[in-house]
Chain A
């Protein structure tokens, strides 16, 4: 993880934590694995290896608002999102999945993963309803924890990313100011 964190942002009383201080890749992977085993299927494994996402991708995410504020984002190829939705619905999957079915099922997986991640973070926090589409931008590369996995041979990423830009680093001249 590249980070320009100088530690200064944690000095003031208004300091807010970045995600890497709160959760690690192992925990995110464990949470995702639990979700996969119970929702997608008992033999469904997530292999933690990085792999290139295809051009046509879809994201689903939920926002967490609390002591840490950001989003839990799942991103994968559109076709994989559809396969994931079908696996989730199993025998109750309709013959033809429309976009709304995929958005709903893929969004629900983000909701479940996001709920578990939220519970592992300091609270109290609120959880938004899931959204599906183009993922929110990464606002602060230092406030990001991302896990790359492969499911049924297809790449998928789980990104826990802060919603706020980095705090301005105080300039030395201001820091040395003597309060009156």
Chain B
């Protein structure tokens, strides 16, 4: 399975990439929404995108809307992974088309729980 990790923080990209790689994902990353779209436009469409909200150039919400407007990217699951944690923000992200929402800070266990909900946890599970 493939995942695209979009976050402007290198540290956070490394952490999320580490979790997903341990689960057997093939991972690419991007520093903002625009770079994320570049990856998709190359034809590398992942099963999962994890998306930070506040980023320079193109934020996570704009990325989600852009993905939603292209039918070719329909089957991609989008999970916001962000420190934005107000009730209204989560509602906005879901309304824009995000499937799940993970609030920072999170643990690796919480990440696995979310993937299980989304049906994106590989069979042999690492505890």
Contact = CB atoms under 8 A, between A and B. Distances in A.
B15 A123 contact: no
A129 interface: yes
Main secondary structure of the interface of B (DSSP, over half): loop
B65 interface: no
Interface in B56-100: 56, 82-86, 88
Contacts, number: 74
Interface of B: 8-12, 14-15, 17-18, 54-56, 82-86, 88, 103-107, 110
A107 B105 contact: no
A88 B15 contact: yes
Interface residues of A, number: 31
A105 B88 contact: no
Interface in A111-130: 111-112, 114-116, 118-119, 123-125, 127-130
A118 B9 CA distance: 19
Contacts of A125: 86
Interface centre among B10, B54, B105, B107 (most CB of A within 10 A): B105
Main secondary structure of the interface of A (DSSP, over half): helix
B17 A92 contact: yes
Contact of A101 (B10, B12, B54, B110): B10
Contacts of A43: none
A42 B55 CA distance: 28
A116 B85 contact: yes
